[in-house]
Amino acid sequence: AWDSFGVITPYVAVFDAKFYLYYTGTHAPDGFRSRDPNGTLRHIGVAVAHQPGGPWKRFADSPVLSPGQRGTWDELLVDDAHLIKRDGKYWFYFKGGHGTIRPDATQWGVAIGESPTGPFVKHERNPLIGGHTVCLWPHGRGIAALIDSAGPERHTVQWSTDGIQFMRAARTEQPVLTGCGP
Best CA proximity match to 126, nearest among 63, 74, 67: 74
Instruction: State phi, psi for 122 to the nearest 5 degrees.
Output: -65, 135
> Which of the two residues, 50 and 61, has the higher pLDDT score?
50
State pLDDT tens for residues 101-148: 666 678 889 999 999 999 999 999 999 988 777 788 898 889 998 887
- Structure confidence at residue 182 as a pLDDT band (50, 70, 90): very low
- Are 107 and 96 contacting, i.e. CB atoms less than 8 angstroms apart? yes
- The whole-chain average pLDDT of the chain stands at 82
Q: 161-165 — which CB contacts under 8 Å span 24+ positions?
A: 163/84, 163/86, 163/91, 163/110, 164/110, 164/123, 164/125, 164/128, 165/125, 165/128
Decide the pairing of beta strands 156-160 and 77-86: unpaired
Q: Which of 7-11, 47-51, 131-135, 143-147 has the highest mean pLDDT?
A: 47-51
Beta bridge partners of 45: 23
Q: Centre a 10 Å sphere on the Cβ of residue 50 and count the other Cβ atoms it contains.
A: 11
Residues 6+ apart with CB under 8 A from 66: 2, 40, 43, 44, 78
State pLDDT tens for residues 78-107: 888 899 999 999 999 998 887 666 666 788
Average pLDDT, stretch 51-77? 89
User: Rounded to whole angstroms, how far apart are CA atoms 83 and 143?
Assistant: 11
